[in-house]
Chain A
Amino acid sequence: MKAPSFAYARPRSVAEAFELVQRPGAKVLAGGQSLIPALNMRLSEPELLVDIAELPFKEISLEQGVLRIGALVTHSQIEKSAEIARHVPLLAEAVKHVAHPAIRNRGTIGGSIALADPAAEYPACMVALDASIVVAGKDGERLVRAQEFFKGLFEVDLAPGELVIAVELPAQLKDQRSVFLELARRHGDYAIIGLAAYKGKSTRFVFCGAGATPVLARRASQSADLQEAKKLLEQDLDPPADLYNSSATKLHLAKVLLERAWNRLSTSH
């Protein structure tokens, strides 16, 4: 399984990148850890790959209570970042579930967000933390709330010629908590089901692997009682079966994760 043939460009500037990515048949190559397997299996046949590796979206910075992570920051860099561990512990916990070390060294947060695999960890974290996605094109930048960004199965609020250049996450305050949990058959496999949970003034339970997009369990998130919340999850979720797990199994596992997260959110550090 070799990739089909395509043209390749490696823009040196952001302006050049915007020009290239709006061409018909163009696809953005970041870390390539999802795109290249898709090419190898001929699931995708772009005419032009625009390799954005040289663009300057590689910073992690904290400003006025908002942590901004550049789109080209890799999973490994997230794993090692003291700032992320301190200010966005949910992401630091989630990254451990992202594939394997050799893949974490290349894959990027921007790639994961822009692709929006329904089993991926970061999109659920973004919705749980009410993060914003920074989208840019030749006409400028716009901020999109995570919940509106993920629109459907592999479908995001990104127009031709636009790039995800960063994400912005609110730094976690002292009285806020978060937990990331995931069940997979083997370590690093795609999630059967995963849960990004946040508790501050409000609570948000957001599942990955439970639908076409990250699924916010609205009713369960508003409940004050664990048993009731687990019951309400049946209304919140209708997870699609995968090759190995039925919808009922996934719903059961979602309840298991909900209970584990609930207990961790309600015990002190």
Chain B
Amino acid sequence: MEQALDIALTVNGVPVSRRVPARQHLVDFLREELGLTGSHVGCEHGVCGACTVRVDGEIVRGCLMLAVQAHGCRVDTIEGLSDSKELARLQKAFHERNALQCGFCTPGMLMAAQDLIRQGKRVSREAIREHISGNYCRCTGYQAIVDAIEEVMQTEVIPREVPHGQG
């Protein structure tokens, strides 16, 4: 018989308790149990990055983490960061620069891009490419994505210090 465990976590600021099968991935839990379908399921073995979510302030692969491992954690998804307007400038830049076509990779791409933006550094295009190297886009060829991220980075007000695990 399949083992189920009780977990309690915070998702986009809302406390959530559920009983989940041990083998359920975090991204499947978010999509199927909570209806948060913004995080996408692509390759399911950690290569494509479409399932990128934030756990305790750090981006992770939603398909390489079990829901039970997120017990006691704070999870933020594309829905949460979109509603809080944290991603507003990136979303606008992606829109204006045509940094997406089909949109499948976009939630994960935004999560990875924002992870770089919030580090508060201005880095080279090469470093931007490196940071999103774990997120595949099969439409754009990346050029417009790098343009969009670079634009936001160059106009971002650089905070003196980004507290670790905040925001």
Contact = CB atoms under 8 A, between A and B. Distances in A.
Interface stretch (B45-53, B90-98, B153-161): B45-53
Contacts of B66: 3, 8, 32, 36
A36 B130 contact: no
Q: How large is the interface on B (under 10, 10 to 19, 20 to 34, 35 or more residues)?
A: 20 to 34
A103 B46 contact: yes
Given A37-B46, A100-B49, A5 B115 contact: no
25 contacts: A1-B44, A1-B45, A5-B2, A5-B23, A6-B22, A8-B3, A8-B22, A8-B68, A10-B68, A36-B25, A36-B63, A36-B64, A37-B45, A39-B23, A40-B63, A51-B68, A100-B134, A102-B49, A102-B61, A103-B64, A105-B60, A106-B61, A106-B65, A186-B133, A188-B133
Contacts of A51: 68-69
Contacts of A29: 69
A64 B165 CA distance: 32
A8 B5 contact: yes
Interface residues of A, number: 31
B64 A188 contact: no
A33 interface: yes
Given A4-B23, A76-B58, A102-B112, 8 more contacts: A2-B25, A6-B22, A29-B69, A36-B46, A37-B64, A39-B23, A40-B44, A40-B63
A2 B23 contact: yes
B18 interface: no
Nearest to A38: B45
Contacts of A102: 49, 52, 59-61, 112, 115, 134
Given A37-B46, A53-B69, A3 B25 contact: yes
Nearest to B62: A102
B131 interface: yes
Interface string B2-32: 1101000000000000000111010010000
Nearest to A96: B130
B5 A32 contact: no
Contacts of B23: 2-6, 39
Given A5-B21, A36-B64, A101 B115 contact: yes
Contact of A187 (B49, B112, B133): B133
Given A1-B44, A7-B3, A101 B69 contact: no
A33 B58 contact: no
A116 interface: no
Contacts of B52: 102
Contacts of A36: 25, 46, 63-66
B129 interface: yes
A62 interface: no
Nearest to B51: A102
Contacts of B135: 100
